[in-house]
C-alpha cells in the first residue's frame, strides 16, 4: 500500500539510482530529461563521430549484462551483428514485462521514457540498425500511450528519424504493444509476435543476430539494459563496472514484492547485500520472520531465508547461492506462507501460459499443476514427490525455449528446500502452517 503515486520523493528508488534517479513521477517529458543531462550521450557520439566499434568496446568494458533475465553480456551481443551486412538491420527492445514479480520496466517507461529512447538510439548507431521497435506489455496500456507521446517529442526535436541532429545518422523507432501472452517475453516469440503471428518461440540457432525480425539481423535487449547505456557512454565503461562487481557492472533495479512493508522498485549497485535490499523495502511486513525468497522472478529457484540473508544481489553471488538473478524480481514470503499453496499458483501460471508448441512443456506443465493441486487439497500420494521430480526432469532441457525450465525449476527447488511441508500435506491432508496465502 506504500508504493509511490506521483508526485513522489525523488529518493524513493534508493541512493544508488542512475536510471531512476531524480524521478518524481511527473518529470518524464523531453525537457525534464534534457534538464537531467538527457541526450548528452547521443550528442557526444555524433559530435565526436565516435566509431561504433568503440561504443561496443565501452559497453563490453562496463560488464553490463542483460537485465531481462538471461544476464548475457550486452557488448558481446551487439558485436554479433554482422558489420558488412548490406540490407536492413533491426533493433528490438523487450518491454514485454510479465515475469511474475517484475515491474521495473514499467517504472522506467512511464517515468523516464526518453532514457530508453536514447539508449536505443545509441544501440542503433553501434549496431548499424535502420529501425527499432519497442515491444510493450499489453496490460500496461497507459505506459504504451506515454511511450507514444515521448517518441513524438523525440521525433519533433530531431532525435529520431533522418539526419539526426544534423548528422548522417538515421534511425526510425516505433512502439508496438502485446495483448496478453507471457511467452512473448521470450525473444524469438516476441519477434514472431512482432511479425503478426502467434508468439511461439523459434529454434535457435540461427540466433536473432543472423536471422531476427523479418529474417534480418536483429539485436534484442531488455528495457533496463538500454536505459543503462547513456550513462556508460558519458561516464565510461570502467566507471559503470566499478559501481558493481567484476563481471557484474552497474546498478540493477530490483522489484521487491510479497511480505514486506514497502513493495516497490529499488535500484542498487550490484553486489548489495540482500539484507540491505530488504531493509530498503521496509523490512518484513508486521515484523514477521522471513521464510523464503525467490530472488529473480517466479521462474527461478526459491531459496530458504538463511541462504538469502547470506547472499549479495549480483548475478554470480545468487548463482552461487543456488538460484539466479533473472529479471531482478525479489518475491518475499514470511513464516505464515504455505509453500505448497505458493508453488500451486506458480504451477498454474506455467500451465496456463505454455504456448503448446513443445510436448514436454505442454503436457508436463499440466501434470505439474494437477499433481501439486492434489497435494494441496489433501489428496496427494506417497509417490507424488518423485513423480513431480520426474516430470520436471522430463521438461527441463527438452523444449525450444526456457519456459519449460522456468516451469520445472520452481517445482524442484520448492520440494528440495521445503520437503517437510509437502510431506505433511501428503501424510496429514493439511497444511503445516496455520495461516497461508
Pairwise CA distance, residues 26 & 10, whole Å: 10
Q: How far is the CB of 198 from another protein (least distance, A)?
A: 4
* Residue pair 108/149 in contact by the 8 Å Cβ criterion: no
* Residue pair 341/377 in contact by the 8 Å Cβ criterion: no
Pairwise CA distance, residues 410 & 407, whole Å: 6
* Residue pair 159/117 in contact by the 8 Å Cβ criterion: yes
Task: Give the residue from 153, 201, 157, 207 showing the smallest Cα distance to 175.
Answer: 153
Pairwise CA distance, residues 114 & 129, whole Å: 19
Q: How far is the CB of 263 from another protein (least distance, A)?
A: 5
Q: How far is the CB of 241 from another protein (least distance, A)?
A: 29
97 vs 153, beta carbon nearer another protein: 97
Q: How far is the CB of 302 from another protein (least distance, A)?
A: 10
Q: How far is the CB of 255 from another protein (least distance, A)?
A: 6
Q: Is 128 left (phi over 0), alpha (psi -120 to 50) or beta?
A: left
79 vs 221, beta carbon nearer another protein: 221
63 vs 200, beta carbon nearer another protein: 200
152 vs 427, beta carbon nearer another protein: 152
239 vs 402, beta carbon nearer another protein: 402
Any idea which residue has 566499478 for its cell? 242
Map residue 257 onto helix, strand or coil: strand
23 vs 45, beta carbon nearer another protein: 23
Q: How far is the CB of 8 from another protein (least distance, A)?
A: 12
β-bridge mates for residue 91, sequence order: 132, 219
Cell of 204: 535457435
CB atoms within 10 A of CB 152: 12
16 vs 97, beta carbon nearer another protein: 97
Q: How far is the CB of 375 from another protein (least distance, A)?
A: 17
Q: How far is the CB of 196 from another protein (least distance, A)?
A: 4
**Pairing mode, if any, of strands 90-95 and 218-222?**
parallel
188 vs 248, beta carbon nearer another protein: 188
98 vs 237, beta carbon nearer another protein: 98
* Residue pair 172/161 in contact by the 8 Å Cβ criterion: yes
List residues binding another protein (CB under 8 A).
Answer: 1, 3, 88, 97-103, 105-106, 133, 137-142, 174, 176-182, 193-199, 214, 255-259, 263-265, 298, 329, 331-333, 337, 342, 345-346, 349, 352-353, 355, 437
CB within 8 Å of 47: residues ≥ 6 apart: none
Backbone angles phi, psi at 414, to 5 degrees: -60, -45
Q: How far is the CB of 3 from another protein (least distance, A)?
A: 5
What number of CA atoms fall less than 13 Å from residue 271's CA on the CB side?
Answer: 11
Q: Is 202 left (phi over 0), alpha (psi -120 to 50) or beta?
A: beta
Task: Give the residue from 16, 21, 28 showing the smallest Cα distance to 271.
Answer: 16
Q: How far is the CB of 57 from another protein (least distance, A)?
A: 32
249 vs 296, beta carbon nearer another protein: 296
Pairwise CA distance, residues 324 & 354, whole Å: 21
Amino acid at each position: 500500500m506504500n508504493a509511490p503515486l506521483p508526485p513522489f520523493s525523488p529518493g524513493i528508488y534508493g541512493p544508488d539510482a542512475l536510471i531512476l534517479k531524480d524521478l518524481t513521477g511527473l518529470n518524464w517529458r523531453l525537457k525534464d530529461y534534457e534538464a537531467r543531462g538527457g541526450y548528452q550521450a547521443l550528442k557526444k557520439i555524433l559530435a565526436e563521430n565516435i566509431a561504433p566499434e568503440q561504443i561496443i568496446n565501452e559497453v563490453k568494458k562496463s560488464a553490463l549484462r542483460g537485465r531481462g533475465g538471461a544476464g548475457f553480456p550486452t557488448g558481446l551481443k551487439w558485436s554479433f551483428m554482422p558489420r558488412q551486412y548490406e540490407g536492413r538491420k533491426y533493433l528490438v527492445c523487450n518491454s514485454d514485462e510479465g515475469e511474475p514479480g517484475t515491474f521495473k520496466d514499467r517504472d522506467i517507461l512511464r517515468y523516464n521514457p526518453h532514457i530508453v529512447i536514447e539508449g536505443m538510439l545509441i544501440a542503433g548507431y553501434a549496431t548499424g540498425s535502420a529501425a527499432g521497435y519497442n515491444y510493450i506489455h499489453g496490460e500496461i496500456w497507459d505506459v504504451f500511450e506515454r511511450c507514444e507521446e515521448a517518441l513524438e517529442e523525440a521525433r519533433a526535436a530531431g532525435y529520431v528519424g533522418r539526419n539526426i541532429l544534423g548528422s548522417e545518422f538515421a534511425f526510425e523507432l516505433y512502439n508496438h504493444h502485446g495483448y496478453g501472452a507471457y511467452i512473448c517475453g521470450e525473444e524469438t516469440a516476441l519477434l514472431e509476435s512482432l511479425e503478426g503471428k502467434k508468439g511461439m518461440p523459434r529454434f535457435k540457432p540461427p540466433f536473432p543476430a543472423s536471422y531476427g525480425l523479418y529474417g534480418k539481423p536483429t539485436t534484442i535487449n531488455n528495457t533496463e539494459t538500454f536505459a543503462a547505456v547513456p550513462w556508460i557512454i558519458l561516464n565510461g565503461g570502467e566507471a559503470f563496472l566499478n559501481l558493481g562487481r567484476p563481471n557484474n557492472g552497474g546498478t540493477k533495479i530490483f522489484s521487491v514484492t510479497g511480505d514486506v512493508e514497502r513493495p516497490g522498485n529499488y535500484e542498487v549497485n550490484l553486489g548489495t547485500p540482500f539484507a540491505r535490499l530488504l531493509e530498503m523495502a521496509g523490512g518484513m511486513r508486521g515484523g514477521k520472520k522471513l521464510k523464503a525468497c525467490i530472488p529473480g522472478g517466479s521462474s527461478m529457484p526459491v531459496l530458504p531465508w538463511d541462504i538469502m540473508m547470506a547472499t549479495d544481489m549480483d548475478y554470480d553471488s545468487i548463482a552461487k547461492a543456488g538460484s539466479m538473478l533473472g529479471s531482478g524480481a525479489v518475491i518475499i514470503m514470511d513464516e505464515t506462507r504455505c509453500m505448497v499453496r505458493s508453488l500451486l499458483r506458480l504451477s498454474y501460471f506455467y500451465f496456463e501460459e505454455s504456448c503448446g508448441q513443445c510436448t514436454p512443456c505442454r503436457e508436463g506443465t499440466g501434470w505439474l499443476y494437477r499433481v501439486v493441486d492434489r497435494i494441496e487439497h489433501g489428496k496427494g500420494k506417497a509417490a507424488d514427490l518423485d513423480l513431480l521430480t520426474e516430470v520436471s526432469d522430463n521438461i527441463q532441457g527438452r523444449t525450444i525455449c526456457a519456459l519449460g525450465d522456468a516451469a520445472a525449476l520452481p517445482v524442484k527447488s520448492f520440494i528440495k528446500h521445503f520437503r517437510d511441508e509437502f510431506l505433511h500435506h501428503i501424510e496429514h491432508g493439511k497444511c503445516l502452517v496455520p495461516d497461508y496465502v
